[in-house]
Amino acid sequence: MNYRFCPLCGIALTPLLKSNLKLTLQTCPKCVFTHYNNPKPCVVAVIVKRKKILLTRRAYEPFKDYWDFPGGFLECDEQPEDGLHREIAEELGIEIKVIKLLGIYPDSYGSNGDSTLNLYYLCKKSNGMLISKDEIAEFNWFDIDNIPKLAFKTNLVIADLMKKYSSIFKDEERSYFRSIY
């Protein structure tokens, strides 16, 4: 959220811009109030099963009808893994086992381009039957070599997944992934 006026004294705020012309913070010239435009934390599950990745097709904007990894925004004071379990239960009706943190990636969300900081976790389904809930139009398992166009900036995630865990997707080395359960 960007303020035009100081919420403390009502004076017009002075925006400070980064080199890429994104607003980073706003300061009040009178009372020195500073508003930081911090990213919103999000959690995302990369659920893998038998050389395939579970993707969901978004039912709503932004990126309506694009494929995406399941996940969402953290709630206030929520631990990341707790938020991940909550989001996956809300979206897909299943429980997951978190294997490990895959990586942390900046992105943006919505028509205002709100900054997000996304924690991607490598996971496996542990319990329950997959169902598409409110935010999900459908879900499907995709081969790593045949992933459709994805929402958001997920190319780095796919690249890191292949670099760090390529053995998951090779027939002769699937025992590696079973061993980390």
The structure's pTM equals 0.83
Phi, psi dihedral angles at 18 (to 5 degrees): -80, 175
**28 shares its domain with 68:** no
**116 shares its domain with 74:** yes
**17 shares its domain with 47:** no
**73 shares its domain with 114:** yes
**31 shares its domain with 45:** no
**CATH code for the domain of 149:** 3.90.79.10
Question: Which residues are known to be catalytic?
Answer: 138
Q: What is the dihedral of CA 119, 100, 157, 146, to 10 degrees?
A: -130
Walk along the chain (181 residues) and give the pLDDT tens digit of each residue: 667 888 899 988 876 666 555 656 788 888 888 877 789 999 999 999 988 999 999 999 999 999 999 999 999 999 999 999 999 999 999 999 999 999 999 999 988 778 899 999 999 999 999 998 889 999 999 998 899 999 998 888 988 888 887 777 765 444 444 544 4
**50 shares its domain with 123:** yes
**20 shares its domain with 81:** no
Sole residue written with tokens 């999000």 = 42
**12 shares its domain with 68:** no
